[in-house]
Amino acid sequence: MRDPHRPEPRLRRSLMLTPGNRRDRLPKAVTLPSDCTVFDLEDGVPPQEKDTARAAIAEALTTLDFGGRERCVRINGTDTADSHTDLDSLPLARLDSLMLPKVESAEALRRFEERLAAAERRAGRETPIDLILSIETPKGLLKAAEIAEALPRASALFFGSGDFTAITGGAVSAEALLYPRSVLVVAAAAAGLQAIDAAYFAAVKDAEATRRDALAARDLGFCGKLVFHPVQVDVANAVFAPTESEVARARRIVQAYHDSLERGHGTAVVDGIFIAIDMLPPAERTLRTARQIAERQSGGPIHAQP
């Protein structure tokens, strides 16, 4: 269950990942209708291009108008020398979140947070940067619950199916990924975090294949997906958005439950379905998502940092 002291979860139906060394693609990425723009310094950037990518991303974060989109950078692994250089090169005051790849232990996260907190102080940042923690290995999956609870600033777990199946030898299919996806969703939910699914990379331009994959993830409890190609953005946004009928039903559930409390009851019946307090969180989540989508469409939210 979500900690009431944590900030409200961000709208993260679609997170567009763009390699930082592709300077020409960065301005286009912030015009796409994704909820989050993720500039990549890790696997999408060859070693000899890391410095070029850092410079391009720093410039983009400083100069581009993100139009209310979440500003995120996927840095290199927390125990690598590259991650030290990443933190030193990024304008941290212009970031909303960092994606940390291949997380395998809570200890590594705590070591990294010490460096991140020091970097934030040097940058004059007053609010902590959100962390999206990537679970991409069997070792990380087996410690997913511990990882999810490690840091108060963590806001989401991300499942990296590509690296995971490369290690296990499993197929990239809904059936083969059912177990690791389920474990990650449960670990995230237990810690009050969001669960974000991997991009569908088998056929990135196949919108229908992306839709089927996104539906399977949504049914398990994921709130959104990483996307690699512009055609995937609208698909993810549509799949992870509640329909008008779902929003209307959520309103009826919330209203009926509160009306029943005023009458001294703890239950109600809506559309022939028995409603108790356990039905309230999903209904409230649906209404929150609908409100956030409306805010995004009107140009919000406003970034916390300048």
Question: What one-character-per-residue DSSP string does 162-184 give?
Answer: HHHHHHH---SSTTTTHHHHHHH
Q: What is the pLDDT of residue 72?
A: 98
Percent of the chain that is helix, strand, coil (3-state, to 5): 50, 15, 35
Q: Higher pLDDT residue, 257 or 85?
A: 85
Distance CA(96)–CA(118), nearest Å, equals 17
Terminal-residue alpha carbon distance, the chain: 31
Q: How far is CA 208 from the centre of its chain?
A: 22
- Average pLDDT (103-128) is 95
Distance CA(182)–CA(185), nearest Å, equals 5
Query: What phi and psi values does residue 208 have, to the nearest 5 degrees?
Result: -70, -40
Question: Lowest-confidence range among 6-20, 49-63, 87-101?
Answer: 6-20
What residues does 134 pair with on adjacent strands? 158
Distance CA(160)–CA(226), nearest Å, equals 9
In this predicted structure, the answer to whether residue 304 has a pLDDT above a threshold of 60 is: no
Sign of CA dihedral 57, 59, 60, 61: positive
Give 276's pLDDT tier (boundaries 50, 70, 90). Answer: confident
Question: Lowest-confidence range among 28-32, 54-58, 95-99, 281-285?
Answer: 281-285
Q: What is the pLDDT of residue 250?
A: 86
Residue 13 contacts residue 224 (beta carbons within 8 Å)? yes
Give 24's pLDDT tier (boundaries 50, 70, 90). Answer: very high
Give 301's pLDDT tier (boundaries 50, 70, 90). Answer: low
Identify the CATH homologous superfamily for domain 14-239. Phosphoenolpyruvate-binding domains (3.20.20.60)
CA triplet 240, 250, 290: central angle to 5 degrees? 40
Residue 33 contacts residue 250 (beta carbons within 8 Å)? no
In this predicted structure, the answer to whether residue 240 has a pLDDT above a threshold of 50 is: yes
Neighbours of 55 (CB within 10 A): 14
Report the run of H or E that residue 200 belongs to, with start and end.
Answer: none
